[in-house]
Amino acid sequence: MSDTRDWWAWHEPYDDPSSGLAQRLRIVQRRIRDTLDHAPPGPLHAVSLCAGQGRDLLGVLADHPRRHDVTARLVELDDRNVAAARAALASLDLPDVTVVPGDAGLTDSYAGAVPADLVLACGIFGNITEDDIRRTVAGLPELCAAGATVIWTRHRLPPDLTGPIRQWFDAEQFDEVGFDTVEDAPFSVGTHRFHGVPPSLAPGRRLFCFVDPSEGR
């Protein structure tokens, strides 16, 4: 089933500080900020899958002390969201951050940008099949540098796959740093650190494709 959602309109609740999306964004940003705060000195690389309007990463880099250490690639398929992310980026002094139009489900979208120290997989696992979630988790080490942090999101509505997802990360040599939830809200934010040996990126491989989900990103 193809994905027919209007991903531009989907971002509108971010502008309401009380919305679930805005609450989730604040947690993701906190986890990004913590990752940068505790990263060793030197250059840092980041990739964002299905980056949308870039609010999570760009919102942190706008004022973070390590902002100029970061080289990042934000991958987004929706042209309007690409334009919005680029407009936000243009107001920041971040010459090593790029917004790339492309299919985030294809490994080719990350060639030349990985291995990364920070991998954002937010807004994905609620919109793909269980098999594709498992395949994506298994493929994430190819995007990671040694010690990389992966931040992901998924709702906890039935079927709640967050338990299996956390186990899949464990099986792929990730340690759980945190699993954040909010009372009376269905979203969750997972943070994992890769402790394995990074494999090479396999070109031309599909990790996931979006379907029409019963719940949002």
Report the pLDDT value the prediction gives residue 184, as an integer from 0 to 100: 87
Dump pLDDT digits (tens) for 187-209: 999 999 999 999 999 999 999 99
Evaluate if residue 28 carries a pLDDT over 60.
yes
Q: Please state whether 173 falls in left (phi above 0), alpha (psi between -120 and 50) or beta.
A: left
Spatial distance between the Cα atoms of 79 and 131, rounded to a whole number of angstroms: 27
pLDDT tens for 141-192 read 999 999 999 999 999 999 999 999 999 999 999 999 999 999 889 999 999 9
pLDDT at 139 > cutoff 80: yes
Record the pTM: 0.93
CA 58, CA 44: separation in Å to the nearest integer?
15
Higher pLDDT, 28 or 6: 28
Residue 135 has pLDDT above 70, yes or no: yes
Residue spans of the domains in the chain: they are: 18-194
Four-way CATH pick for 18-194: 3.40.50.150, 3.40.50.920, 3.40.50.2300, 1.20.210.10: 3.40.50.150
Alpha helix segments (H runs only) across 38-186 = 55-61, 79-90, 130-139, 162-171
Segment among 120-124, 127-131, 210-214 with least mean pLDDT:
210-214
